């Protein structure tokens, strides 16, 4: 059994203090009610003898506790990348979560094969790392996604069942009743009034969070027509493939710092893939980061101290990879200009509530099939055109996946095999699209300027003490260069 991050007495003190630093890292089951809560729950603190403590939501549910309707464990921060000793089990957990939220079928023996291990070994290391079996983890993720959709959206129960990965309404009702001891419709009645169609979905994060630095990064790179940053809100268009169809919509993500939450509104057209969209937002805004582990390392990185630095990720991994390729050996402004031209020429027009959001980023299949000369007329050099179309071909053929559940080493190898893709490009894609916290683009001119050397080997040697959070060090150094005090 995996050891808890805290002993029981220390965990109880964290619950009494409603310490948000432990949100998502600790859950408390209350034997007198049969409910489990986040440590930040605002209900009356239970008596110590009635508390049982768990590392994960899946452990709490395996012990027959059901999620609190007040603090809502399903919106708590989730797994970030962990140290190497747990990397294999955590990769499996991320793949399971990715499959649940995207609606993809998941066969555990196939997952084990993708990891290069046997099914038996997967079950053994998963149990040791997370305290439950992969099947229990899968069920918990499906049910918690269903609970969030029932609470935050007016989607019919049948749609919720399908969106959360259950093959039928009967199976969904049985699983829900078996785990939570109430019917889905009853949970909706007891949790709150029926949500409005424009009610936001809530996602929590662990404080501190450097929201200013995160949004400044996005603002400096925002592509007209696709995204816009205004105050604490990031808005963007989004295309999503679902059961052979291409869905087009928009997102509005508003930071609510006093609640340590992001409130997400999505276009009705994205309702069938809300689970996948929420997972993508978590990655894009790095809401699962653990500042308590990252900040002490970043304290040794040159530049002003910044608490809660986040790693800006990708809501659309393919889009991010295209933008990285277009950013090879040019300034941020020049890369943005090239991207805007690509969007205007090959993107899909869309109506949104905001005049500045007019196009969805081009689909991989569209760029793969485009005339190379047509792309070249946008001012994109021939080598970049070859790289873009090779990338688009692999993504469109479903041979290359660019999200945090994708296997790191095979994906890096596949990227480096593409024409015109070198180590810098692969590392930046891994940093932002795969959410790899130790990515290190050693040849980046910004890093060299910040660290005072033009030798990539020396740049890498200087970063050794920042492992396994070198990607966060990149963001801190880039931010200092782009925002000098």
**CB 284, CB 278: distance < 8 Å:** no
Distance between CA 294 and CA 182 in Å, rounded? 40
Distance between CA 323 and CA 385 in Å, rounded? 12
The number of angstroms, rounded, from the C-alpha of 143 to the middle of its chain's C-alpha atoms is: 19
Specify whether 7 is catalytic. Answer: no
Specify whether 71 is catalytic. Answer: no
In degrees and rounded to multiples of 5, residue 200 shows phi and psi of: -75, 155
From 23, 90, 316, 444, active-site residue: 444
From 9, 19, 37, 351, active-site residue: 37
Which residues belong to the active site?
Answer: 37, 444
């Amino acid at each position: 059994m995996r050891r808890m991050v805290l002993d029981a007495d220390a965990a109880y003190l964290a619950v009494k203090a409603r310490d948000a630093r432990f949100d998502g890292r600790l859950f408390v089951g209350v034997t007198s009610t049969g409910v489990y809560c986040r440590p930040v729950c605002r209900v009356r603190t239970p008596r110590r003898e009635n508390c049982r403590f768990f590392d994960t939501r899946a452990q709490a549910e395996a012990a027959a506790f059901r999620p609190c309707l007040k603090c809502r464990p399903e919106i708590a921060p989730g797994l970030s990348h962990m140290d190497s000793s747990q990397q294999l089990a955590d990769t499996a957990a991320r793949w399971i979560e990715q499959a649940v939220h995207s609606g993809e079928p998941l066969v555990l023996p196939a997952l084990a094969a993708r990891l290069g291990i046997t099914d038996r070994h997967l079950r053994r290391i998963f149990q040791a790392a997370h305290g439950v079996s992969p099947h229990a983890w899968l069920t918990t993720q499906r049910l918690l996604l269903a609970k969030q959709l029932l609470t935050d959206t007016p989607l019919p129960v049948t749609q919720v069942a399908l969106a959360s990965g259950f093959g039928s309404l009967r199976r969904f009702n049985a699983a829900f009743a078996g785990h939570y001891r109430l019917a889905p419709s009853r949970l909706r009645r007891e949790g709150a009034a029926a949500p409005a169609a424009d009610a936001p979905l809530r996602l929590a994060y662990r404080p501190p969070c450097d929201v200013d630095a995160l949004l400044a990064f996005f603002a400096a790179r925002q592509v007209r027509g696709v995204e816009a940053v205004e105050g604490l809100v990031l808005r963007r268009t989004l295309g999503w493939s679902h059961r052979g169809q291409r869905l087009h919509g928009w997102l509005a993500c508003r930071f609510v710092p006093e609640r340590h939450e992001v409130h997400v509104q999505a276009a009705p057209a994205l309702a069938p893939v809300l689970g996948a969209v929420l997972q993508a937002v978590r990655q894009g805004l790095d809401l699962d980061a653990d500042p308590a582990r990252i900040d002490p390392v970043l304290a040794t990185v040159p530049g002003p101290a910044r608490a809660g630095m986040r790693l800006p990720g990708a809501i659309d991994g393919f889009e991010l990879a295209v933008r990285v390729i277009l950013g090879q050996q040019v300034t941020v402004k020049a890369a943005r200009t090239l991207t805007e031209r690509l969007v205007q020429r090959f993107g899909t027009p869309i109506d949104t509530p905001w005049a500045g959001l007019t196009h969805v980023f081009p689909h991989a299949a569209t760029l793969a099939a485009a005339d190379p000369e047509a792309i070249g007329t946008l001012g994109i050099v021939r080598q970049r055109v070859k790289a873009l179309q090779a990338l688009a071909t692999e993504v469109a053929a479903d041979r290359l996946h660019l999200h945090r559940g994708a296997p790191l080493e095979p994906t890096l190898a596949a990227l480096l095999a593409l024409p015109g893709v070198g180590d810098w490009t692969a590392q930046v894609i891994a940093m932002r699209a795969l959410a790899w916290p130790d990515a290190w683009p050693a040849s980046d001119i910004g890093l060299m300027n910040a660290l005072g050397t033009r030798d990539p080997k020396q740049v890498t040697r200087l970063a050794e003490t920042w492992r396994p959070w070198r990607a966060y060090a990149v963001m801190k150094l880039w931010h200092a260069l782009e925002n000098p005090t």
